[in-house]
A and B are shown apart, each in its own frame.
Chain A
Amino acid sequence: MPDALLLLTAVGLPFVGAIAAGLLPTHARNAAAWMAGGVALVGLALLWAAYSTVAAGGVLRHEIDWMPSVGLNFILRMDGFAWLFAGLISGVGALVILYARYYMSAEDPVPRFFAFLLAFMGSMMGVVLSGNLIQIAFFWELTSLFSFLLIGYWHHLAAARDGARMALTITATGGLCLFAGMLVLGHIVGSYNLDVVLASGDRIRAHPLYLPALILILLGALTKSAQFPFHFWLPHAMAAPTPVSAYLHSATLVKVGIFLMARLWPVMAGTEAWFWIVSSAGIATLLLGAYAAIFQHDLKGLLAYSTISHLGLITLLLGLNSRLAMVAAIFHIINHATFKASLFMAAGIIDHETGTRDIRRLSGLNRFMPFTARLALVAAAAMAGVPLLNGFISKEMFFAEALSAEGPLPPLIDILPVAATVASAFSVAYSLRFIHGAFFGPDPVDLPRKPHEPPSWMRFPVEILVLACIIVGLLPAATVGPYLDMAAHAALGTATPEYSLAVWHGFNRPLLMSLLALTAGVVLYLLLQEYLAKGVEGAPLIRRLDSQRLFERALVFLSWRLARTAEGLLGTRRLQPQLRLVVCVAVLAAGWAALLRWPGPGNLIPAGIDPVLALIWAIGAGCALGAAWQAKFHRLAALILLGGTGLVTCITFVWFSAPDLALTQLLVEVVTTVLLLLGLRWLPKRLDLPGTRAAEVLTRTRRLRDLGIAVAAGAGMAALAFAVMTRVPPELLAEHFLERAYTEGGGTNVVNVILVDFRGFDTLGEITVLGAVALTAYALLRRFRPAPDSVDVPEQQRAQSAYDIAQPERRDGDTVADWLLIPSLIARLLFPIICLVAMFLLLRGHDQPGGGFAAGLTASIAMILQYMLGGTQWVEARLRVLPLRWMGIGLLLAAGTGLGAWAFGRPFLTSYFAYADLPVLGKLPMASALIFDVGVFALVVGATMLTLIALARQSLRGHRASAPRPADPPALPPPVSAPTPPPTPTPAQTTMGDD
Chain B
Amino acid sequence: MELILALGIGVLTGSGVWLLLRPRTFQVIIGLSLLSYAVNLFIFSTGGLRTGAAPVLQQGTAGDLSTYADPVPQALVLTAIVIGFATTALFLVLLLAARGLTGTDHVDGREKDR
Contact = CB atoms under 8 A, between A and B. Distances in A.
Point out which of A672, A729, A780, A848 has the most chain B C-beta atoms below 10 A from its C-beta. A729
Contacts of A741: 57, 62-63, 71
Contacts of A726: 2
A488 B62 CA distance: 75
Interface in A75-96: none
A785 B98 CA distance: 9
A785 to B, nearest CB: 5
A751 B58 CA distance: 14
Contact of A853 (B33, B50, B78, B89): B78
Given A628-B18, A628-B34, A709-B21, A653 B79 contact: no
Decide if the interface of chain B is mainly helix, strand, loop or mixed. Answer: helix
Given A675-B92, A784-B97, A706 B50 contact: no
A738 B21 contact: no
A536 interface: no
B97 A661 contact: no
A734 B65 contact: yes
Contact of A750 (B27, B56, B84): B56
A635 B60 contact: no
B6 A721 contact: yes
B46 A787 contact: no
A642 B74 CA distance: 22
A281 to B, nearest CB: 51
A498 interface: no
B14 A721 contact: no
Contact of B78 (A664, A684, A689): A664
Interface stretch (A269-277, A459-467, A591-599, A770-778): A770-778
Given A717-B13, A947-B93, A951-B93, A661 B56 contact: no
Interface stretch (A617-625, A820-828, A831-839): A617-625
Given A628-B34, A668-B82, A672-B85, A738 B55 contact: yes
A755 B76 CA distance: 9
A607 B108 contact: no
B105 A684 contact: yes
B97 A721 contact: no
Contact of A785 (B3, B101, B105): B101
Contacts of A695: 114
Given A576-B107, A628-B15, A718-B7, A583 B21 contact: yes
B34 to A, nearest CB: 6
Contacts of A718: 6-7, 9-11, 13
B12 to A, nearest CB: 5
B24 A848 contact: no
A738 B17 contact: no
B75 A717 contact: no
A754 B93 contact: no
A787 B81 contact: no
B30 A773 contact: no
B89 A606 contact: no
Interface in A601-623: 606-610, 613-614, 617, 620-621
A742 to B, nearest CB: 5
Interface string B43-54: 011111111111
Interface string A750-778: 11001100010011001001100110110
A477 interface: no
A617 B114 contact: no
B86 to A, nearest CB: 4
A642 B29 CA distance: 11
Contacts of B11: 620-621, 624-625, 714, 718
A196 interface: no
B70 to A, nearest CB: 4
Interface string A835-851: 00000000000011100
A26 interface: no
A819 to B, nearest CB: 24
B17 A668 contact: no
B1 A613 contact: yes
A742 B78 contact: no
A606 B100 contact: no
A573 B107 CA distance: 10
A508 interface: no
Size bracket, chain B contacts: 35 or more
B21 A579 contact: yes
B8 to A, nearest CB: 5
Contacts of A684: 99, 104-105
Contacts of B57: 738, 741-742, 748-750
A575 B77 contact: no
A568 interface: no
A784 B100 CA distance: 7
A627 B30 contact: yes
B99 A773 contact: no
B72 A774 contact: no
Nearest to A621: B11
Given A631-B30, A659-B56, A725 B6 contact: yes
A710 B18 contact: yes
B89 A661 contact: no
Contact of B56 (A609, A648, A849): A849
A729 B47 contact: yes
Nearest to B111: A687
A751 B64 contact: no
A950 B52 CA distance: 42
A499 B31 CA distance: 83
Given A614-B4, A770-B86, A734 B103 contact: no
B92 A642 contact: no
A170 to B, nearest CB: 39
Contacts of B52: 657
Contacts of A658: 44, 54, 69, 74, 77
A729 B108 contact: no
A843 to B, nearest CB: 15
B56 A749 contact: yes
A16 to B, nearest CB: 43
A788 interface: yes
A517 B79 CA distance: 81
A450 interface: no
A714 to B, nearest CB: 3
Contacts of A649: 37, 40-41
A642 B19 CA distance: 12
A735 interface: yes
A740 B63 CA distance: 8
Nearest to B48: A729
Point out which of A624, A729, A733, A773 has the most chain B C-beta atoms below 10 A from its C-beta. A624
Interface in A669-723: 671-672, 675-676, 679, 682-684, 689, 691-692, 695, 706-707, 709-711, 713-715, 717-722
B72 to A, nearest CB: 5
Interface of B: 1-24, 26-31, 33-34, 37-38, 40-42, 44-65, 68-72, 74-75, 77-79, 81-90, 92-97, 99-101, 103-105, 107-109, 114
The 8 closest A-B CB pairs, nearest first, are A714-B14, A718-B10, A722-B6, A710-B18, A738-B63, A628-B15, A717-B13, A750-B71
Given A624-B34, A725-B2, 8 more contacts: A628-B31, A631-B26, A645-B34, A664-B81, A710-B17, A721-B10, A724-B45, A725-B5
16 contacts: A576-B107, A579-B21, A624-B16, A631-B31, A649-B41, A713-B17, A714-B11, A714-B15, A717-B9, A725-B6, A741-B63, A741-B71, A754-B72, A785-B100, A940-B82, A954-B96
